[in-house]
Chain A
Amino acid sequence: MVGGFRYRRSRVADATDKAREEFFSEAQEIVEGLSRDLLALDGLAQRGQASPELVNDVFRAVHTLKGLAGLFGATRMATLSHDLEEVLDDLRLGRVELTREVLDLLFRALDVYGQLLTLERAPDESLFGVVDEFLADLSKRVRRRAPPEARASAAYDLDPGLLAVLTEYEEHRLRTCVASGFSLFRVRARFNLLTIDEELEALKTRAKPLGEIVTYLPTGDGGDAESIDLELLLASREEFPVIAARLASERVSVEEVDRRRDPTDAPPRSLREGAALARDHEGAEEPAAEGGAAGLSLRSVSQTVRVDIRKLDSLMNVVGELSIVRSTLARITERVRSNPGLRELGFELYRLQRSFERHLGEVQDGILEVRMVPIGQIFDKLGRVVRQASREAGKQVSLVITGAETEVDKLIVEELSDPLMHMVRNAIDHGIEPVNDRARVGKPEVGTIAINAFQKGSHVLLEIEDDGRGIDRARVREIALSRGILDQTGAAELDDRGLLGLIFLPGFSTKGAVDMLAGRGVGMDVVKTNISRLGGVIDVQSEPGIGTKMTITLPITLAILSSLLVEAGGQSFAVPLSAVEEALAYDAGTSRVVDAREVMTLRGASLPLVHLDALLGLRARARGRGRYVLVVSAGTRRLGVVVDHLEGQQDIVIKPLGRSLASVRGFAGAAQLGDQRVGLVLDAPALIDEVLASGEARKAEPRAKDVASSP
């Protein structure tokens, strides 16, 4: 560490002597002020008091010194100030307590400032050793910091749950009050629901002269249909008997919140109840007096934890394994229950299994919730992209974002970043017109890209909308023809939707030249692939002259998928429930074959059908009755998938297929189904694409199924 503090000989080489003199005198002045403030802090601390203002002043002084030192190349002073600033910042934010030790450190730092000022004037290499030693010491201290447990020790024995719900302002007030030597009182009051407004007002009026109401919250316990219990946190300079005498009543009880001594010390004294007031007067003044020395921080628990997403993944894997246990347990329970001789055991097992199921569900929900982050995280990055890209393109674009708070799985947010960036660049490059063109058609000069995120059921929808020129259909058709993506007959048959869909095909890019923005060889096909990898679908709508709107529909989480297990060709497959609209009994008699495509009528509309076994090239089972049609959908497109059986619903943890199977289309991954079985998860959007695009079920080369998993 010491090596990093090498004295810079040219420290003030380019500053005039006058400026240097000014630096010294200003620094000297600040150090003197620092000294006064520290002494005042020390004096307060000895009386068990603190002053946030003073700490803040010290912090600011050191901050100023840091800036000055940096300006004049006084490296050691800059380092010292920088490290001190860290300590003071922690102090200021209550992360560190102003203990004797910390004060000593600050005073020593003050001495070092003095030495440094002298040395900067008349460098004497031999004396730097002492300074460097302190700097190394300090920097070690800053890096080591107090472990969280140590600095989280609260001055008060407050319920962490209560602290957790305080707003930042309330917490600040609380800290300030405690720092100014107020004592804390917990006032529990029962209010009649009908008259709570007046009663609470009355209580507040009575409490006001005594101090400050930091917060009031429902307690969650107590209360009945007609009443509610509120807990007020009151900070006051008054002592317990006074407070209790003024506030306590039949429906109001007062407790003093104990100051905590050393956390390793004796357990906190029990709280004195308002009822016990008469017996216990003495000692009421004692907590306030001794509290200061113990530390002045109220921040008892750090309220956020940073967690590596992989740890959550592995937890989720455990939950996945437990889900399998649950399924097995459910099966066993069913067997036991169907045995008349074991009715009682069966019932107990059933209760146990239900309880397990419920708790497992809670664990699962909890982990999922932890994984959720606001989607707005990526929008910040987009703002920069828009600024840069619009400047490069010589266009004016404003980005309007709504729904940034919508929560999505962390992994989705990460994977979404690139596609979104690409789409926004596309919109600027191909959508928004140059300023002159916009003026000519009477549009505002500044183009708008609106991004709107919102939750819809178990999906999150993301709309990326621009008010540009829209997609030029004729040009799309022309390009598709020239690149051989489409032939003349195909072009004639395409409807508008199909035409727009062409932009998602590989090798399609509507702009002739490769430019700095969108034309980097990655097109909308990559966007689409990325989004479908996340289990999402993308849809495009475009009005010529008015604008283009892309809609991305994404699942909220990737980790656990509710799925329907189906059987086809003697093999089990999982279909994500989110893609399944309904399941119907299949009746070959009611379906018709139109142009080599099997179609059935569902509530007045035609539903194309595909037999899963045929589609996947599996050996068909005997075509008996009892088959089902699974109606799967992606966006507005629907497909009926005919399967042999429905096996039931199961939550699965989906894992991607390895790279060796990357060329295999139609599966989103695989999942453990229990009994050591692995099941493939159907990629519904891909199947729909495949079937509807090719016009008929692709004639997969039938391949004898020599190896079955388990029958």
Chain B
Amino acid sequence: MTVADLARTPAGRLARRAHSLEWEHVTEHLAFRVVDELFALPLTDIRELLAPPPLTFVPRAPRAALGLASVRGELVTVLDLGVRFGKRAAPIDPAAERRARVLLVRAPDGETLGLLVDAVESVVRLADDEIEPASALGGGVSEHVLGLGRQGSQLLVLLSLPAVLKAQ
């Protein structure tokens, strides 16, 4: 499945696909790039992929909050993961980044949020033995890092969505 297909696939189908694979102890992750690093979120956490919508800047908002967008009538706060992870000081201009995408996710409290990433790379299937827990990295790892995924030479930082969305 290419990323282009993914963007057109309804979230429900994605969820089912991912679910059907669970019994093999293989999980599907969406890999994306933020600045210079590859991250991944479980495919089941992602409702939709969007090209960056027009955003309304929210004064006084936390730095990572890029702005507000309206997605089919629903108000969505878009966070810049680059700022969130401390990889850049100021948000990028999503309109100027050709490959930038917004991942729509649902927070545990039901709020829909958008996560701005620099580029979406691919869907990665990881077997259990391809995942290293965060503890393997030693102490001082950020709370939002769940573990590391390794496929060949590719190294992915697996994220915990609730921790990513926790108050910044």
Contact A618 B56 (CB under 8 A): no
A483 at the B interface (CB under 8 A)? no
- Asked if A317 is at the interface (CB within 8 A of a chain B CB), the reply is yes
Contact present for B56 and A679 (CB under 8 Å): yes
Stretch at the interface among B26-34, B105-113, B127-135, B137-145: B105-113
B58 A707 Cβ-Cβ under 8 A: no
Which of B7-15, B41-49, B72-80 contacts its partner? B72-80
Q: B68 contacts A670, CB within 8 Å?
A: yes
Q: How far, in whole Å, are A660 and B73 apart by their CA atoms in the complex? A: 18
Establish whether residues A708 and B75, one from each chain, have CB atoms under 8 Å apart when the complex forms: no
Give residues of chain B (77-127) contacting chain A, Cβ–Cβ below 8 Å.
77, 79, 90-91, 93-94, 107, 109, 111-113
Give residues 47-62 of B contacting A (CB, 8 Å): 53-62
Contact between A678 and B111, CB atoms less than 8 A apart: no
Q: Which residues of A contact B59 (CB under 8 A)?
A: 569, 571, 616-618, 664, 666, 680, 700, 703
Q: Bound state CA distance, A658 and B61, in angstroms? A: 12
| Closest Cβ–Cβ distance, residue A210 to chain B (whole Å) | 61
B76 to chain A, nearest CB (A): 8
Q: Which of A580-598 contact B (CB under 8 A)?
A: none
Shortest Cβ distance from residue A265 to the other chain B in the assembled complex, whole angstroms: 46
How far is A679 from B59 in the complex, measured between Cα atoms in Å?
12
A497 at the interface (CB under 8 A from B): no
**Are A704 and B90 in contact, with the CB atoms below 8 A?**
yes
Cβ of A6 within 8 Å of any chain B Cβ, yes or no, is no
Name which residue of chain A comes closest to B75, CB basis.
Answer: A655
Decide yes or no: A677 and B54 within 8 Å by CB, A658-B77, A700-B60, A707-B91 being known contacts. yes
User: A571 CA to B55 CA in the complex, in Å?
Assistant: 11
Instruction: Considering the complex, give the chain B residue whose CB is closest to the CB of A700.
Output: B60
Contact flag A571-B57 (CB < 8 Å), given A655-B75, A661-B65, A706-B93: yes
The CA-CA distance from A616 to B61 in the complex, in Å, is 10
Closest chain-A Cβ to B5's Cβ sits at a distance in Å of 26
In Å, the complex CA distance between A569 and B91 comes to 19
Residues of A within 8 A of B54 (CB): 676-677, 709-710
Q: Is B67 an interface residue (CB 8 A)?
A: yes
Q: What separation, in Å, do the CA atoms of A664 and B68 have in the docked complex?
A: 13
Which A residue's beta carbon lies closest to that of B68? A678
The yes or no answer to A215 lying at the interface (CB within 8 A) is no
Instruction: Establish whether residues A678 and B90, one from each chain, have CB atoms under 8 Å apart when the complex forms.
Output: no
Contact yes or no, A676 B70, CB < 8 A: yes
Q: What A residues does B109 contact at CB under 8 A?
A: 659
Counting CB contacts under 8 A, is B40 at the interface?
no
Is the CB–CB distance between A707 and B165 below 8 Å? no
Chain A residues with Cβ below 8 Å from B167 are 663
Contact check, B79 vs A660: say whether CB atoms are below 8 A apart. yes
Q: Is A525 an interface residue (CB 8 A)?
A: no
| B69 contacts chain A at the CB level, 8 A cutoff | yes
A57 at the interface (CB under 8 A from B): no
Q: Is B157 an interface residue (CB 8 A)?
A: no
Q: A706-B91, A707-B93 are in contact. Are A660 and B165 (CB under 8 A)?
A: yes
Report A670 CB to chain B, min CB distance, Å.
6
**Given A660-B111, A660-B165, A677 and B58 contact (CB-CB distance below 8 Å):** no
Q: Which of B53, B73, B107, B165 contacts A317 (CB 8 A)?
A: B73
Whether the pair A571, B77 counts as a contact (CB closer than 8 A) is no
Does A75 lie at the interface of the complex (its beta carbon under 8 Å from any beta carbon of B)?
A: no
Q: CA–CA, A569 to B76, complex, Å?
A: 22
Interface residue A269 (Cβ < 8 Å from any Cβ of B): no
A710 CB contacts on chain B under 8 angstroms = 54
**A529 part of interface (Cβ distance < 8 Å):** no
Q: In the complex where A617-B60, A660-B77 touch, is A707 in contact with B111 (Cβ < 8 A)?
A: no
| Shortest Cβ distance from residue B168 to the other chain A in the assembled complex, whole angstroms | 8
Q: How far is the CA of A518 from the CA of B60 in the complex (A)?
A: 34
Size of the chain A interface, CB-CB below 8 angstroms: 34
* Residues from chain B with Cβ under 8 Å of A665 in the complex: 60
Set of chain B residues within 8 Å of A680, measured between Cβ atoms: 56, 58-59, 68
> Is A321 interfacial (CB 8 A cutoff)?
yes
CB distance from B65 to the nearest CB of A (A): 6
Q: How far is the CB of A53 from chain B (nearest CB, A)?
A: 56
B66 touches A (CB below 8 Å):
yes
- Do B55 and A709 touch across chains, with their CB atoms under 8 A apart? yes
A703: which B residues are within 8 A, CB to CB?
Answer: 59
Q: A676-B70, A707-B55 are in contact. Are A664 and B91 (CB under 8 A)?
A: no
B66 touches A664 (CB 8 A): no
A317 neighbours in B (Cβ, 8 Å): 73
Of the listed residues A655, A660, A670, A672, the one surrounded by the most CB atoms of chain B closer than 10 A to its CB is: A660
Q: How far is the CB of A238 from chain B (nearest CB, A)?
A: 62
Instruction: Find out whether the CB atom of B73 lies under 8 angstroms from the CB atom of A677.
Output: no
Could you say which of A660, A670, A706 contacts B90, with CB atoms under 8 Å apart? Answer: A706
Contacts of A670 in B (CB 8 A): 56, 68, 75
A658: B residues at CB distance < 8 A? 75-77, 107, 111-113
In the bound assembly, the distance between CA atoms of A704 and B93 in angstroms comes to: 12
Q: Which of A449-473 contact B (CB under 8 A)?
A: none
Q: Which of A618, A655, A659 contacts B107 (CB 8 A)?
A: A659
Q: Is A657 positioned at the interface, with any CB of B under 8 Å from its CB?
A: yes
Given A616-B59, A700-B59, A709-B67, the answer on whether A661 and B77 have CB atoms closer than 8 Å is yes
Query: Which of A666, A672, A708 has a CB less than 8 Å from the CB of B70?
Result: A672
Which of A617, A670, A704, A705 has the most chain B CB within a 10 Å cutoff? A670
**B75 pairs with A678, CB closer than 8 A:** yes
For A663, list chain B residues within 8 Å (CB): 62, 167
Give the docked Cα–Cα distance between A706 and B93 (Å).
Answer: 7
Rounded to whole angstroms, the CA-CA distance of A99 and B94 in the bound complex is: 71
Q: Tell me if B111 and A676 are in contact (CB < 8 A).
A: no
Measured CA separation A571–B57 after assembly (Å):
8
When distances are taken between beta carbons in the complex, the residues of chain A under 8 Å from B53 are 676
Which residues from B are CB-within-8-Å of A704?
A: 90
Known interface pairs A678-B56, A680-B58; A321-B65 also in contact (CB < 8 Å): no
Q: Which residues on B sit within 8 Å (CB–CB) of A657?
A: 58, 68, 75, 77
For residue B37, give the distance in angstroms from its CB to the closest CB of chain A: 22
Across-interface contacts of A709 in B (CB, < 8 A)? 54-57, 67
Which residues from chain A contact B61 at a C-beta distance below 8 Å?
661, 664
Q: What residues of chain B lie closer than 8 Å to A664, measured between beta carbons?
A: 58-61
Whole-angstrom CA separation of A569 from B57 in the bound complex:
11
Q: Once bound together, how far apart are the Cα atoms of A555 and B12, in whole Å?
A: 40
- Give the docked Cα–Cα distance between A655 and B70 (Å): 11
Interface centre among A616, A617, A679, A708 (most CB of B within 10 A): A708
Residues of B within 8 A of A655 (CB): 75
**Given known contacts A571-B56, A660-B77, A707-B57, what 6 new A-B pairs fall within 8 Å (CB)?**
A616-B59, A659-B111, A660-B65, A676-B54, A700-B59, A700-B60
11 A-B pairs in the complex with CB atoms less than 8 angstroms apart: A655-B75, A658-B76, A660-B77, A664-B61, A665-B60, A672-B70, A676-B53, A676-B70, A704-B90, A706-B93, A709-B54
Q: When A and B form their complex, which 6 residue pairs have the shortest distance between CB atoms, in order from nearest?
A: A616-B59, A658-B111, A678-B56, A709-B56, A678-B68, A655-B75
